[in-house]
Amino acid sequence: MKRFRRRFKPKPLTTRRKVTLAVLAAIPVLAIFAFGNRGLISRMRLEMKHDAAVEQLYAERRTGDSLRAEIARFRRDPATLERLARERFGMARPGETIYRVDE
């Protein structure tokens, strides 16, 4: 005598099961979107690095501009160059005597 196997009859998907399956499918997609190589967190980190680099670039440009202005002042005004030589390097003209006062 042959026995007949009962066929598997899938239960119809209820709204609750559909929502559960949708949530379970969305979780890995959202995790990759947020934490992947090109995800939101790495993008925010890269934007912060970019902003810091741009700010450093502007600071370096300001420093370079001020140094260029100082060089131009030394080239135009010999009195400024002489003052710098006297203050920083203790230089004097021939025949001058330098007196140092210790405080």
In which domain, by residue range, is 36 found? 16-89
In a domain, 63, yes or no: yes
Domain for residue 9, yes or no? no
Q: What is the pTM of this model?
A: 0.53
How far is CA 12 from each of CA 5, 18, 66, 82, rounded to the nearest angstrom? 21, 10, 76, 95
Question: Per mean pLDDT, which range of 6-15, 26-35, 57-66 is the poorest?
Answer: 6-15
The tally of domains found in the chain comes to: 1
Structural domain includes residue 79: yes
Report d(CA 34, CA 90) in Å as an integer: 62
39 in a structural domain: yes
pLDDT tens per residue, range 12-40: 778 888 889 899 999 988 888 888 888 88
Q: How far apart are CA 97 and CA 87, in angstroms?
A: 14
Instruction: Name, in order, each residue with C-beta under 8 angstroms of 98's C-beta and a sequence gap of 6 or more.
Output: 90, 92
The Cα–Cα gap between 80 and 71 comes to: 10
